[in-house]
Structures are given as C-alpha cells and as structure tokens.
Amino acid sequence: MYRKTALSIGETYHLYNRGVEKRQIFIDTQDYERFLKLLFFCNSENKVELRDLSDITFSDFLNERGKNIVNIEAFCLMPNHFHILIKEIEDGGISIFMKKVSTAYSMYFNKKNNRSGALFGGTFKSSHAKSNEYLRYLFSYIHLNPAKLLDPEWKNNIKTNRENLYRFCEEYRYSSFQDYISNKNKRDISHILTKNQYIENSDNKNTINTDVIEWLNFDQSQG
C-alpha cells in the first residue's frame, strides 16, 4: 500500500492509530498489558506463539526473542488510540511489525469481547522525525497525552495544576516516559525499548525533560 510518508532504514517515525469510529480499544488493565506484550513479542525475527501470553514475562522471552525487526524508542497507550516512536532498521520492518501487532491485538480483543470486524481505523498513520528539534517535540507530545485523562481541557484551563499533570504523566504506567526520566528501578516493560540515543544522551536528558515541562506550562502562560 502506498504511504504518504515513505519509511526509510535508519530513520525514526511517529506512528499512531485509533479505534474505528474512535471507539475504545483498551478497556481494562488486561488490554493494556496485552498490547504492551505484543509490542515486545512481535518485535522479533523469530516466529512467536502468541495464543497465551498471560503467564510469560518480558524477561522470560529475552533469550528466545532473537534480533529486533524495529527499534521502539517511545510509546504511549491511551483508551482509544496509541502512539509509538519507532526506527526502521531493516527494509519493511515497521510495516511487518505493525501488521503483526494490529492483527494479533484485534484477534485478541474481538474474541474477548465477542465482536467481529476491524478494530483500528485503517492502517497506521506516520510522520517522519526528520530533525532533533522535531524529535524533541514528539517526545513531549507523546508523553503528555495522559494529561488529558486527568483534565481533558488542561491546555485551556489556567487553573489546572501543572505539577500534578507532570507527576501523573511521569507515573502513567502505559507510556515510556518514566523509563527515560525516572530514577526508580527498571520496569519489566522497559525491555520494549531501544532508547533513542539522542534523547538518552546525558547532555540532552535535562533539556528533554525541560521541554516537557515547558510544553505543560505553555498554554497556561498564554492564558
């Protein structure tokens, strides 16, 4: 299928998609955890049995996983959509990976909820992170999505406590924000990530985190 944004080896992209007709695609904790496991288990050159992932941990699969077919650099799951920052490391890797994830999750979700038909609103959308400046923006944009769950109108609400929003985003389990900025023990789901080296570089970490804080406060300062 022709894509408006070509996917080239060595380049990083922001991928996103939502439920068909904006329906909810993650209903409970089990759904979120299933999708996170698929981000990890489907990113493998080896064939993986996906029928029962409930009792398998990320650590259990590390030695069997084989070579990645993409590098997942950041992610955030929201009730009716998802965001993934991803690097193409082999020709066609992103398309193969996303087909595996979306097919496996749709089959799981439809069986669980006794439904049929498409779950996602068409093929995934993508934008090219073609500069470090845009990459920094994407990192903030992706990881600030959970703020909408605390206050859907936070961008226009000057009374919203920005510190609470930051803390909520930092502690949000279904994104990779804390895997970059937290000093807490490494999470099992952090195995999903191959961290972006520009963001992870110690000289840039404080700058990246400052970007997030500035984005949180931008709309308030304009109020």
pLDDT digits 0-9 by tens, 126-149 = 999 999 999 999 999 999 999 999
Q: 12-128: which CATH number, 3.40.50.720, 3.40.50.300, 3.20.20.60, 3.30.70.1290?
A: 3.30.70.1290
Mean pLDDT of 60-82: 89
Between helices 93-112 and 29-41, what is the axis angle to 10°? 150
199 has pLDDT over 50: yes
pLDDT per residue over 46-65, tens digit each?
777 766 676 777 777 777 77
104 has pLDDT over 80: yes
Query: Contact 205/176 with Cβ under 8 angstroms?
Result: no
pLDDT of 137 reads: 94
223 — pLDDT class (breaks 50, 70, 90): very low
Q: Count Cβ neighbours within 10 Å for each residue of 151-183 and write b for 16 or more, e otherwise.
A: beebbeeeebebeebbebbbebebbbbbbbbee
For 64, other C-beta atoms within 10 Å of its C-beta total 11
One-letter identity of residue 37: K
Where do we find the tokens 């099992």?
188
Mean pLDDT of 154-170: 90
Q: What is the pTM of this model?
A: 0.91
Instruction: Choose the weakest-confidence range: 25-34, 116-125, 197-206.
Output: 197-206
> Hey, where are the domains in the chain?
12-128, 132-221
Residues 79, 181: Cα–Cα separation, whole Å: 23
